[in-house]
Amino acid sequence: MAASLAPQRLTGLPVLQRLHPIACDLRNPYRLRRPQLNPVRFINRKTLERATIVGVVLQIAMVIAGHFIPWVAEHVFMFGGMMISATAGYLYAMDSGPGFGIAALGGAIAGGTCALIGIALSVIMRDVPEIVLVFGTVISTVTGAIGGLFGQMAANMRRMG
């Protein structure tokens, strides 16, 4: 009776896997691994869709205006497109307020998507060369992420009162 009350040693891979099967590292079974967070799961899709739609509508309006008014194409396309992408990122983060990392990621997705669509339309209309599609999308993705950071700051200030 006394022998059965003695504590048993918990050693070996099967015991660790039974205790915590997900966190057991199979390469080194005696070291537990930390769970990996998937940032895409935390993105608010509805807010991302709304911010992207606003950005796409503004990009299309700018491209159409630039197609018929050469001054707009010459002076507004670059900085206007970047500002629209930053605004889309700002709108995403301001509405969802998920934290700085997720806000930057969502802002980058919203800004890059609306820029890609707007620049592709501009390339189809032969207003800009094809290389602008690559560089403009990358630059607008970065400005969308920056807009997401500013949107997160605004969401934090709004929460503080």
Average pLDDT over the chain reads 85
Q: Is the pLDDT of residue 127 over 60?
A: yes
Closest among 159, 19, 154 to 86, alpha carbons compared: 154
pLDDT tens-place string over residues 35-87: 566 666 788 899 999 999 999 999 999 999 999 999 999 999 999 999 999 99
Give the per-residue pLDDT at 16. Answer: 46
CB 91 within 8 A of CB 50: yes
The angle subtended at Cα 134 by Cα 66 and Cα 55, nearest 5°, is 50
Over pLDDT 90: what percentage of the chain? Answer: 68
Residue 96 CA to residue 91 CA, distance in Å, equals: 9
pLDDT given at position 41: 72
User: Rounded to an integer, what distance in angstroms lies between the CA atom of residue 126 and that of residue 147?
Assistant: 29
Whole-number percent of the chain with pLDDT over 70: 75
Considering only residues 155 and 28, tell me which one the structure prediction assigns the higher pLDDT.
155
Alpha helices by DSSP H, listed for the chain, are: 2-5, 13-19, 45-68, 70-75, 77-96, 100-124, 131-160
Q: Higher pLDDT residue, 105 or 41?
A: 105
Exposed (0-12), middle (13-18) or buried (19+): which is 31, by Cβ within 10 Å? exposed
